[in-house]
Amino acid sequence: MGKVYALVDCNSFYVSCERVFRPGLRGRPVVVLSNNDGNAVALSPEAKALGIPFGAPFFKWRDFMEKNGVSWFSSNYTLYGDLSCRVMDCLSAFTPDMEVYSIDEAFLILDARGDLPALGRDIKETVARWTGIPVSVGIGETMTLAKLANRMAKREPAAGGVCSMAGRDDMDILLDGINVEDIWGVGLQYRKMLHKNGISTALHLMRADDRWIRKHMTVMGLRMVWELRGRPCLSLEEAPRPKKVIVSSRSFGAPSVDINELREALATYVTRAAEKIRRQRSAVSSVTVYLCTNRFREKDPQYSAGITCALPVPTAYTPALIHYSGKMLDKIFKTGYKYKKVGVMFTGIVPEDGIQLSLFDPYRETPRRKDLMKVMDGINASMGRNTVHFAAEGIVKPWAMRRAFLSGRYTTRWDEIPVVWAR
DNA sequence: TCTGGGGTCCTAGGACCC
DNA sequence: TCTGGGGTCCTAGGACCC
């Protein structure tokens, strides 16, 4: 087999960060709150044991926390970002093949030979020694299995925070002990649907029929099932790809009824999102603006609306984006409602100097027709022509093939098709 | 009074085009 | 002249993740 995946995940990351600088908090219940001290977004095991759920609204639980000696903190993302970098640096000492998956998780590719549980323990101890952050390590033959192993490492006290599912012959027993909703990619809706169809454990899902899965869970579900069987369908993303969507929104502390207030708030979010766009050297070709009332205040009249609009030209110019989004807000704004939230979403994101066309899709054996056509269009555009110059055999349907042949040039290997930049 | 913010991928349907 | 199958783009929405 050669390679295995490891998922290293920091335990209650935000709480652990606070504890690094306040050792007195160790072993005590601690909670970290979201923006505006809205909800609990991180809980120490001691806080979970008291029955505080993830996402608990602070205003409802405050008394309970005071009575039970729970410490709480407003989130400090600068601190968490900094400690995250230290953890990731530490992990990169173990392998050059690594994907930082989120602020508190990373996938590593490891050599499958050798004592994997021992390597897992080494990783765990090294991170703890260098950064003070406790982590759990899960190892498996695919990313999905590594995720599951990580979960077991956290759940089973006997595991000591490390679990390897790679190369084991008791996989059926292991998978039979895992609920289907604990698999990476199964959320509430799929859980319901699967249970209704008699699929309640990871083992059931692993043995399900491919066509059935494809039909009810799309190709994403199929990849998931293949991954459970030990066939890798997901791969590491070592360099972060530019964002395809950029969102900026906030809930207001106090609701607003005034369009001018909303316009000002929106302009702030647009500015912030436009900065992100420019930082990744992109431009935006469509904008969505949305607003909504407070859904928790059921007695108040409810209204939510969104509008999407394609820009005449892709841009990252803040005043232009503020101008358009303001007009869009005017269209969906209705008087008589108390608005709780307004936001903007940028989509249709393209490089600032054109469109990058790439066929690479590691999950398909052949490129998608759609992508291929994009490449053709891009090449034509960049050459100032309006005919197709090549196609890939067996992939493009007759009319495109005909055109390709008429043009006199084509290639049969899709991986030979270059990445093209078009104006 | 007080209930987060920011992402990903996939699918479907309509208008239009060749 | 007639036209089918197969494209395009756009928008909306569902499902999932941290």
Residue nearest to nucleotide B9 (CA to C1'): A220
Tokens matching residue A309 = 């609009």
Distance CA A73, CA A48 (A): 16
Q: Looking at beta carbons, which pairs linking A241-244 to residues 24 or more positions away fall under 8 Å?
A: A242/A280, A242/A281, A242/A282, A242/A349, A242/A351, A243/A276, A243/A280, A243/A282, A243/A349, A244/A347, A244/A349
H helices of A280-368, where? Answer: 318-332
The answer to whether A252 touches A290, Cβ cutoff 8 Å, is: no
- CA–C1' distance A388–B7 (Å)? 35
Tell me how crowded residue A360 is: count the other CB atoms within 10 A of its CB.
Answer: 11
Within 7 Å of a protein beta carbon, the nucleotides of strand B are 1-11, 18
Q: CA–C1' span, A395 to B15, in Å?
A: 26
A343: which DSSP letter? E
CA A131 to C1' C13, in angstroms, rounded, equals 43
pTM tops 0.75: yes
pLDDT reported for residue A173: 95
Is any atom of nucleic acid chain C found less than 7 Å from the CB of residue A309? yes
Q: Any atom of strand C under 7 A from CB of A313?
A: no
Q: How far is the CA of A407 from the C1' of B11 (A)?
A: 34
Across A150-193, the runs of DSSP E, i.e. the strands, are 162-164
Scanning residues 48 through 67 of protein chain A, those with a beta carbon under 7 Å from any atom of strand B turn out to be 55, 57, 59
Which residue ranges in chain A fall short of pLDDT 70? 1, 312-313, 353-423
pLDDT 10s digits, A50-71: 999 999 999 999 999 999 999 9
- pLDDT value for A220: 87
CA of A292 to C1' of C11 (A): 20
